[in-house]
A and B are shown apart, each in its own frame.
Chain A
């Protein structure tokens, strides 16, 4: 098991959003702007890394049948840490991510990694896995947010791109999110199939 392989699997082969199809709620909901997507990536990666570290440390002490409740408690604790810290030091981010901060708890990706990876591997590998998965998740969100923000609001990081250009507002609301992600998946499938042919 190489570090490089474990890190890059989260970015490409096992990308949580594009390949495994998990963590979709935040992916669709907070991608109205690139800065929201980046903050979501930071928050999720932080929670994922901390929970992976802790889970891999306590994996031998916790009896099998209380495993899931303990994991959920660990994850919820770190999510609350993120919640409190954002509220105190980044109130604007806190309001713009809104209920999707507490909802990081139910991002299946985090519980999934705790169960599938961290409870079976050492601390170091768990960190590598968490970073790869978190960044893979975040990059997908950023790409999605890039399309939605530029096309839907004619903006990037809150600044207008082309003055006087009327953007397609539909991209900033839910339908735009679904359709953009659908098209991204289509593009990815097409690339995959054409690669296989060669």
Chain B
């Protein structure tokens, strides 16, 4: 049944093909905002939000403008401009509608434009042939949402470990970035275990 397709997409974008840990997308914010669990959660939710909306909007742009007028080669330029505008609009909308949410997510939103996972999910929606398939819109939505959840999960795990690392006794030269990368490597190794799962 169709529901199985969506569950497969959701599960595989969160665990098997986790954008951060197995596709190495969105590494800059992953390392940048994973020092504290609070900010990691804020960033994660902002990314889920933007990714889902970006997936939906790029779906329409691709299907009804780029494909229809045979200008698929303008994909990159169209997508990045759309994403940049979405981020701006979302920022303004949240600011107007919910100042509380704005205070929690606001500072992370501008950072998302250059988060390659967002453009990545838009491009991957096209490359995996979702846009031309029957349930295209739902599939892209699920993939966008799943990719965001996967990002949040990776960010939360990492920030939890990094908070504990503060008190750990690490060799001086290994402190900071080097140990963070090695931990990311171990996490990514753990996520490889999901690869054996199939439906």
In the complex they form, whether A and B have CB atoms below 8 Å apart is answered with: yes
The answer to whether A174 touches B80 (Cβ under 8 A) is no
- Assembled-state Cα–Cα distance A21/B114 (Å): 14
Which residue of chain A is the closest to B180 with respect to CB atoms? Answer: A182
Query: Contacting A193 at CB < 8 Å: which of B172, B178, B182?
Result: B172
Option from B73, B75, B81, B116 in Cβ contact (under 8 Å) with A72: B81
* Count of chain B residues near A, Cβ 8 A: 44
Q: Least Cβ distance of B174 to chain A in Å?
A: 5
- A83-B76, A189-B173, A189-B178 are contacts. A105–B119 as well, Cβ < 8 Å? yes
Inter-subunit contact B185/A175 (CB<8 Å):
yes
Pick from B80, B120, B184: contact of A178, CB under 8 Å: B184
The answer on a CB contact under 8 Å between A76 and B181 is: no
Q: If the complex has contacts A80-B76, A189-B174, are A174 and B21 also in contact, measured as CB distance less than 8 A?
A: yes
Which of chain B's residues have a CB closer than 8 A to the CB of A178?
24, 181-182, 184-185, 188
B185 contacts A176, C-beta separation under 8 Å: yes
- State in angstroms the CA–CA spacing of A79 and B26 once bound together: 19
Question: Does A42 make an interface contact (CB < 8 A)?
Answer: no
Contact status A29-B181, CB under 8 Å: no
User: Which of B23, B28, B118, B178 lies in contact with A24, CB distance below 8 A?
Assistant: B28
What's the Cα separation between A170 and B193 when bound, in Å? 12
* Residue interface bits A47-87, CB-to-B below 8 A is 1, else 0: 00000000000000000000011001100110110011000
CB proximity of A157 to chain B, nearest CB, Å: 23
Within A155-186, the residues touching B (CB, 8 Å) are 170, 173-179, 181-183, 185-186
Q: How far is the CA of A108 from the CA of B123 in the complex (A)?
A: 18
Q: Does A106 contact B (CB under 8 A)?
A: yes
**B181 adjacent to A79 (CB under 8 Å):** no
Q: Are B181 and A193 in contact (CB under 8 A)?
A: no
Those of B146-199 within 8 Å (CB) of chain A: 172-174, 176-182, 184-186, 188-189, 192
Asked if A111 contacts B81 (CB within 8 A), the reply is no
Q: Do A106 and B172 have beta carbons less than 8 Å apart? A: no
Residue of A79, A80, A170, A176 ringed by the most chain B CB atoms within 10 A: A80
Q: Which A residues lie within 8 Å of B94 (CB)?
A: none
| B23→A29 contact, CB < 8 A | yes
Determine if B31 and A24 form an interchain contact, defined as CB atoms under 8 angstroms apart. Answer: yes
List A contacts of B179 (CB < 8 A): 182
B61 within 8 A of partner (CB): no
A183–B173 alpha-carbon span in the complex (Å): 10
Contact A21:B173 (CB < 8 A) given known A76-B81, A182-B179: no
**How far does the Cβ of B64 sit from chain A's closest Cβ, in whole Å?**
20
Let me know if B84 is at the binding interface, CB within 8 A: yes
Bound form: Cα–Cα A120–B16 in Å:
44
Besides A103-B120, A106-B115, 6 more A-B contacts (Cβ < 8 Å) are A69-B84, A76-B76, A80-B76, A102-B123, A106-B118, A182-B185
B-to-A contact residues, CB < 8 Å: 21-28, 31, 73-77, 79-81, 84, 113-116, 118-120, 123-124, 127, 172-174, 176-182, 184-186, 188-189, 192
26 intermolecular pairs with C-beta atoms under 8 Å apart: A21-B28, A24-B27, A24-B28, A25-B26, A72-B80, A73-B77, A76-B80, A76-B81, A80-B73, A80-B76, A83-B73, A98-B127, A102-B75, A102-B79, A102-B123, A105-B76, A106-B113, A174-B23, A174-B24, A174-B185, A175-B189, A178-B181, A178-B184, A182-B181, A183-B178, A193-B172
